[in-house]
Each structure stands twice: as structure tokens, then as C-alpha cells.
Amino acid sequence: MSMNSRLNPGLDRIAAWDVMLWRRGRADASACLLAATAASWLLFYGPGRGYTALSLASDVLLLLLTVLFLWAKAARLLNRPAPPVPAMRVSQRAVDEAAALLRAALDAVCSGFHDIATGRDSLLFGRVFLCLWALSIVGSLTDFPTFCYASELFCPLLV
């Protein structure tokens, strides 16, 4: 986020519209957005594909792992350096922070559920009911990738 957009939130909206409408020298970003949308549509809805997000992630990781494995085996046979793969470790501090955030979020959800179930918070019940009902209606009209594309398009309008 640039300094100008923090001072004037409308600039973010203008920049998003410039990208979507191919204006003000942002044709490269617009072309990338169009290419990414077309590629994802072909992956998820293209002829004979029918990928889901999980199957796509699995296939990409399988391809990456296979390439790295074959590269390492070929490097050993040809006396070449092995592929540069960094040691991947997750620190205990990062895990503790993520667990604390997840616990706090789940605790808030459980507390809200308890307040609704015991009849203490009618306003919260109404808001949750309306949100879940609207989500159910939208979910029955479209599928998840289309919902993501539409939210990407309409989010700049709501900000």
C-alpha cells in the first residue's frame, strides 16, 4: 500500500479500475490479470480438465518434487552440483503464534455460539442468521471459483 493510498483510500479503487479497464499505462497488469483468469478458467473448467484446488496443488507439488528428485539423481551421476534446495524448517515460535491466533479465533466463535445457543445475544443471532442465509443463497447460485472471481471484481467497489 503506497503512502498516497493510505491518505486517500479512493486511490486504491481508481488503481483497481485502471487495471480492469486497461487505462493509464497499466496494460501490462491488465494483461497479466486477464492471462491468469483465462489460465485458471482453463484449469478448473477447461475441456476434460475439471481440476479442483486440491488436485491442482497436489499435481503442482508432485511435478516439483519429481523434477527436483530427477535433477538430484542426474547431478549425482554426472558429478554436477545438486539442486539448490534450502533447508525448510518451521520455528517453534511461529507454530506457537499460529496456534495462539487459531485458539483465540476459535474461542471467539465458541463464545458467540454459546451466547446464541443460550439466548443471550439476539442481535448476534440475527446477524449470523442473515449472513449464513445469504451465503447459502449465493452458494446455491454459483460454485466456489466463480464466487472468488466475482468477489475479486466487486471488492474494489465496496471499499
* 123 or 3: which leads in pLDDT: 123
Distances (CA, A) of 102 to 99, 107, 129: 5, 8, 23
Distances (CA, A) of 125 to 47, 68, 79, 84, 132: 44, 52, 67, 54, 10
Q: How many CB atoms lie within 10 A of CB 124?
A: 13
Among 9-13, 76-80, 143-147, the range scoring the smallest mean pLDDT is 9-13
Domains of the chain, residue spans? 1-51, 53-88
What proportion of the chain, given as a percentage, has pLDDT over 90? 13
pTM score, two decimals? 0.44
Q: What is the pLDDT of residue 149?
A: 74
| Contact (Cβ atoms closer than 8 angstroms) between residue 69 and residue 61 | no
Mean pLDDT of 26-43: 74
